[in-house]
Structure 1
């Protein structure tokens, strides 16, 4: 228990700190791909995936642990990931983003987190277990991309690294756009950690490195897996309502660590403050949180579990889930932002002509 407490909190705190300071928000990244054609955060995600893939498969080659991709519940992944994508727009953040934004004092994220934990628990051990099992029951025999294609996994990793390297080169060689920054109030390491704007690509490398670190730390406690948010979030509520210590695992301390790390970063950078949402935003946050919990439970992972970890493990589950998360996000963005603006313009026009 002590080992889980220390290493889980440590890894989570690192992740929460880095994500808060680097503003590593996949919801905003997926949204901006559609609204403003800004792909930088998506590129950052690819960097984190590539870093983790190289690191984790190196550990596997060294015999630190073994990984089995298992079977592929294709229907559940498609449906769940699409619903999850819709949910993160309404909630104002993905699963990990909700944890770290809660650490900043954003009450809307606390509301979303409550809905997320509640629905994930209902899906995993509550009345919706039969529905979850039924949708997940059609299984394809293999989930491993290299096994399906009959090639060595390092070929796929090499292709990914090459693509990411080309993207990074193209991005960093673009003409720089001058963005005025606030006058520095701190110097040295304090300025870098708590004041300086972090480049998304630097943040991505750090996130990828932490994702690699999570594997041996988690495996050492008997949990074969890396970063994961949905099941540990449900485990917290399951433990609180049943008192069963079997629900306490390394992942629980990981997600609690994300909250703590984000809180430390937000306080030190003077970004922490309690912010109460209006009624509409609060309702959207709770509904979005429930959709996240439903979708992530069904798909077997969230934007981190599937979008970062299972992609790095070169599974069909990860990459298919990532595609449908993005499609779900774009669908919600269209109806929430694009159609909303169109309605507002139409209403203003009708008022002027009245």
Structure 2
């Protein structure tokens, strides 16, 4: 049963690679390019998963406990994680799938991410994690806090998402020149045709839904998750402790495998070596990702996709601060240098 994690991860890696489902780029584009399409795609995936998982809960197929709400750790950790994903060039899941494409900068970021996650989970920084986690409120569920049925929250959210989707689909389409297809039929659809982000989002939501019963069948009572399994891989490699090898470990390995298959089949796989500056940024970003995601109890998938779908304060507060961290890093890395360059150019022209 544990190998179903590999299958689920492979599906996720394949879909994310072919659909270019990059939350880092999506959050960054919200600020820099005023393009919200990837954020809207995330909302679609959340809605699909939320409806499905709570239906499974109602049927008694899966179980879920929202637990407590360690608000301070969520806020600080998510903000740091948001900064880290910009430096690393991808979020936790995005780093795994881009590593499968042969992007060596993502391998560097992934190494930093795994090391720091392991240090936070069971290493010398575990005391830092425990100290922040101690600051908490006892109720994490939005439904329990308000006394309103979770289905009311889901229904309101779905209505909002449907409204956004309808509005976006009604916008005039921008014609993008495309090359003449080299493949036909299913091969063209799977490995050549550009996927719409909303279509990709539905698939991601369905895979996230599938993860719940598959994971719980092995005793792991959660859906998609990347940070702890990534730390577990490093712990196993260092200690040989087979107890840390669970469904989640096979999930993240599957993401890498699925992305590799998709990239090879679509002729997008190639090894790309970053320069020294990019390598350093990737490593620093990976460490910030590992620290932030561990502190917050989840990354852009564990918190931003899964815990949001479960209508928890943890998920939605985390998502907000991940985005704010991404915007902050984007300002200092992309916007501010460009502003300074433009100002310097204007001054030179004026002086001349």
Q: CA deviation at 1:347?
A: 4.6
2:230 corresponds to 1:233: yes
Which residue in 2 is equivalent to 1:111?
A: 108
- 1:204 paired with 2:198, answer no
Pick closer, same or farther for the CA change 1:175–1:349 going to 2, 3 Å. closer
Q: Does 1:289 align with 2:267?
A: no
Q: What displacement does 1:341 show? A: 1.0
Residue number in structure 1 paired with 2:214: 217
TM-score (norm 1): 0.98
Residue matched to 2:297: 300
Q: CA deviation at 1:340?
A: 1.4
Q: Distance in 1 between matches of 2:77 and 2:125?
A: 14
Q: SS at the partner of 1:272?
A: coil
Give 1:132 deviation, angstroms.
1.0
Deviation at 1:144, TM superposition (A): 0.1
Stretches of structure 2 that go unaligned for 5 or more consecutive residues are none
Deviation, 1:344, is: 2.8
Residue in 1 that maps onto 2:59: 62
1:349 deviates by: 5.1
Question: Equivalent residue of 1:4, what SS?
Answer: coil
- The alpha carbon displacement at 1:51 in A equals 0.0
Secondary structure of 1:65's counterpart equals coil
Q: Distance in 1 between matches of 2:322 and 2:177?
A: 34
Q: Note the alpha carbon deviations across 1:170-219, whole angstroms, 9 max, x for none.
A: 01011111111111000000000000000000000000000000000000
Separation (CA, whole Å) in 2 of partners of 1:290 and 1:148: 34
Aligned pairs, how many? 351
Quote the Cα distance in structure 1 between the aligned partners of 2:144 and 2:297. 20
Post-superposition offset of 1:161:
0.7
- Residue 338 of structure 1, aligned match among 335, 339, 343: 335
Corresponding position of 1:278: 275
Mapped pair 1:163 → 2:137: no
- For residues 301 and 173 of structure 1, the distance between their equivalents in structure 2, rounded to whole angstroms, comes to 35
Which runs of structure 2 are paired with 1:80-229 in the superposition (5 Å)?
Answer: 80-229=77-226
- CA positional deviation for 1:322: 0.2
Is 1:49 paired with 2:46?
yes
Structure 1 residue runs without a partner (length 5+): none
The residue number in structure 2 matching 1:4 is: 2
- 1:39 corresponds to: 36
RMSD: 1.0
- What's the offset of the Cα at 1:70? 0.5
TM-score, L = length of structure 2:
0.98
Q: Residue 311 of structure 1: which of 300, 308, 319 is its match?
A: 308
